[in-house]
Structure 1
Amino acid sequence: MARVWIEDRESHADYQAAMEKWQAAKKAGSKRNPPGRWRVRWYGPDNKPKAKTFAKLPQAEAEKNAITDKLDKGSYRDPKKGKTAFKAVAEEWHGSLRKQSERTRNDYRELLDLYVIPKWGDWQVAAIQWEDVSDWINELCKQPGKRGGMLSPARISKTHLVFSMAMKRAVQSGKVPINPASEHDLPRIDDDGEHVYLKHEQLAALADAAGEYRPLILVLGYCGIRWGEATALETGRLQLDTRRLRIVQAHSRIKGGMKVGPVKNHERRSVPVLASMVEDLRPVVAKRKRGELLFVGADGTHLRYSTWRPAVFDSAVKAAGLDGLGITPHKLRHTAASLAIAAGADVKVVQLMLGHKSAAMTLDVYGHLWPDRLDEVADALDAGRKSALGKLTAAA
């Protein structure tokens, strides 16, 4: 049973002295409340003594019952811990990140400094209520961000995620019983905008218009890898004999420039290369030493999206007559997925090719592209039923 009891302080010397001071102050015009006569005392889960005083016995009894119930159920939290400032918890959480990449940690740091700590930094974690968080999300949706423009739904959701993960740390460390950032409606994220699915002829025209970067366009449009993965490809990772691309690393932008790191979701994978693309890729491999980047810029270093897209890609889009479709290098992943599905690839193949974390994610994004096979399934069931009934009839 939990150790919680009520102590009557009426005969205690410190209480009597406090009452004399209060009575003298009252005569002098003070309106402060009298010292509490009833003290609730208990031992927390850490076996340290704790206490709280009340002016009236019913108040003390209510507190005693509440603490006893929390201790018995294991939901007790030390009230002093709840007074910890949010910014202290946030720094503790960010400092404990271990498995995240440097880029992810930097992204979290930026959102903490721009939006989360300026709002919640001085709040006591126990004082943050669900309604306060809901109002904050509304502010993020309606007010311009720190850089002037309105925050995108994805940016708002990620800002909320950072706040939620920091508050989860407060829950786990016993400072608050529940996370006030849970179960909020967030603005809908429309992926990367309207999907664009190029046909084989359109993809060929785009590749031809890209000149020396024709092989890169073919890789993006048929292999479905991400831009950062394509620019980090090394010659040793491309096996022309077995027609495989081994995706093990990716370029990512961090403060101070670009850095090679793990692929998104840490999903290393092998991606098939079309036999018809081998001859396009062979000259590219021949120009590089083993271990060198497969696709490089004019200066021989890694491709920079900010210069390559307007100078090469956007010009190729216009030359191929595809301007107005909203096509981007990243959206060539959608083309790769759609062409693979049209060729008969199942969801697991597409998932592995794109590096999605789960088949469910692949279905969420591309499920509408798979053909409706309801009639095919019904016909197969019908054939099985007729066969079974035929056997029963023959046996009779």
Structure 2
Amino acid sequence: MVHEEAGVPTIENAFGVLRQVMGAAVEDSLIPRNPCDGVKLPKRGHSDRGYLSHAQVAALAASVDRQPEVIRFLVYTGLRWGEMAALRVQDFDMLRRRVNVSRSVTESGGLQWGTPKSHERRSVPFPAALSEELAALMVKKDRDALVFTDQRGGVLRNSNWRNRVFRPAVEKCQVLDNSFPTITPHDLRHTAVSLAVSAGANVKAVQRMVGHAKASMTLDTYADLFDVDLDAVAASLDEAIRAAADQLRTGTPGG
């Protein structure tokens, strides 16, 4: 029998269960302390991601043969595919430009409906530039109707859309742009984080947007993006230091 090495997510899940069991044992005075405290788990390795620029997002949306709003919505909200596919008309607050994420649908031996991955509801903003096309998707629909659907009005399945619509569009873009990365629909979520960070979003804002349970998870997943953000912090500090030095030389009171 061949034994495959357990991946880091599997180890994290198993360790989490063990920590809870040991914690209960401590509470029942069966053991003096939790042996899981202080244990360091292996770090997750992250493969290179394809982040799109705003121009590349526009090019990709223009290259699909239908439903370009799917691309723009995923990029500018950071929702997971299953969260997007489960959205109903009643989940949108068009005046506040917010979408309420409370459920998800996945393809696993058929369609499985449940809560988002973090099991927590969240409210995610969307840009005003998307308002018109989102409103058009809801015309003459009931409150319980799905907003994003396939051509027959059913659930928009990632597997079908990726192969029939998304992949050919990516290939078209790569012919015209040598720097265009090979990506999947899930990578649009990564692009959402990249563009949010470049626009000045802090880690807590990104955490709430993408629905991570903790900010530490966001930092771990997107450490490469926040490293770039730190460069901007250093540049701002340099500017403040120079301003303070100028004030000392000129005798101008500081702000």
TM-score of the pair, normalised by structure 2: 0.77
Mapped partners of 2:191, 2:252: distance in 1? 50
Q: Are positions 1:383 and 2:251 aligned together? A: no
Code of the aligned partner of 1:344? G
Q: Are positions 1:289 and 2:142 aligned together? A: yes
Kindly indicate whether the alpha-carbon contact (under 8 Å) linking 1:231 and 1:302 is maintained by their aligned counterparts in 2: yes
Q: Secondary structure at the match of 1:221?
A: helix
Residue 156 (structure 1) shift: 2.9
% same residue: 32
Partner of 2:77: 223
Residue 391 (structure 1) shift: 4.8
Q: Deviations over 1:184-227 (max 9, x none)?
A: 44332125x32221112222222233333211111111111122
Note the aligned Cα RMSD (angstroms): 3.3
Q: Secondary structure at the match of 2:212?
A: coil
1:302-313 to 2 correspondence within 5 Å?
302-313=155-166
Q: CA 1:169 to 1:360, structure 2 compared with 1: closer, same or farther past 3 Å? A: closer
Mapped partners of 1:256, 1:392: distance in 2? 70
Q: Residue 60 of structure 2: which of 206, 225, 248 is its match? A: 206
Partner of 2:200: 344
Q: CA 1:226 to 1:342, structure 2 compared with 1: closer, same or farther past 3 Å? A: same
Structure with max Cα Rg: 1
Q: Residue 321 of structure 1: which of 163, 171, 174 is its match? A: 174
Q: CA 1:390 to 1:360, structure 2 compared with 1: closer, same or farther past 3 Å? A: farther
Q: CA 1:344 to 1:167, structure 2 compared with 1: closer, same or farther past 3 Å? A: closer
Code of the aligned partner of 1:217? I
1:126-145 to 2 correspondence within 5 Å?
144-145=3-4
Partner of 2:101: 247
Q: CA 1:315 to 1:340, structure 2 compared with 1: closer, same or farther past 3 Å? A: same
Q: Secondary structure at the match of 2:113?
A: strand
Mapped partners of 2:16, 2:116: distance in 1? 22
Q: Secondary structure at the match of 1:258?
A: strand
Q: Residue 160 of structure 1: which of 8, 15, 35 is its match? A: 15
Kindly indicate whether the alpha-carbon contact (under 8 Å) linking 1:224 and 1:337 is maintained by their aligned counterparts in 2: yes
Mapped partners of 2:182, 2:28: distance in 1? 47
TM-score of the pair, normalised by structure 1: 0.53
Q: CA 1:344 to 1:258, structure 2 compared with 1: closer, same or farther past 3 Å? A: same
Kindly indicate whether the alpha-carbon contact (under 8 Å) linking 1:247 and 1:271 is maintained by their aligned counterparts in 2: no
Q: CA 1:308 to 1:175, structure 2 compared with 1: closer, same or farther past 3 Å? A: farther
Tell me which of the two structures has the higher relative contact order, counting C-alpha pairs closer than 8 angstroms and 6 or more residues apart: 2
Partner of 2:226: 367
Q: Residue 170 of structure 1: which of 8, 25, 31 is its match? A: 25
Q: Are positions 1:189 and 2:44 aligned together? A: yes
Q: CA 1:305 to 1:166, structure 2 compared with 1: closer, same or farther past 3 Å? A: farther
Kindly indicate whether the alpha-carbon contact (under 8 Å) linking 1:232 and 1:260 is maintained by their aligned counterparts in 2: no
Q: Deviations over 1:11-51 (max 9, x none)?
A: xxxxxxxxxxxxxxxxxxxxxxxxxxxxxxxxxxxxxxxxx
Q: Deviations over 1:299-322 (max 9, x none)?
A: 433233333333333333223328
Kindly indicate whether the alpha-carbon contact (under 8 Å) linking 1:210 and 1:217 is maintained by their aligned counterparts in 2: no
Structure 2 gap segments, 5+ residues each: none
Kindly indicate whether the alpha-carbon contact (under 8 Å) linking 2:100 and 2:121 is maintained by their aligned counterparts in 1: no
Kindly indicate whether the alpha-carbon contact (under 8 Å) linking 2:103 and 2:113 is maintained by their aligned counterparts in 1: no
Mapped partners of 2:30, 2:19: distance in 1? 14
Mapped partners of 2:95, 2:185: distance in 1? 27
Kindly indicate whether the alpha-carbon contact (under 8 Å) linking 2:61 and 2:68 is maintained by their aligned counterparts in 1: yes
Mapped partners of 1:355, 1:328: distance in 2? 20
Q: CA 1:168 to 1:348, structure 2 compared with 1: closer, same or farther past 3 Å? A: closer
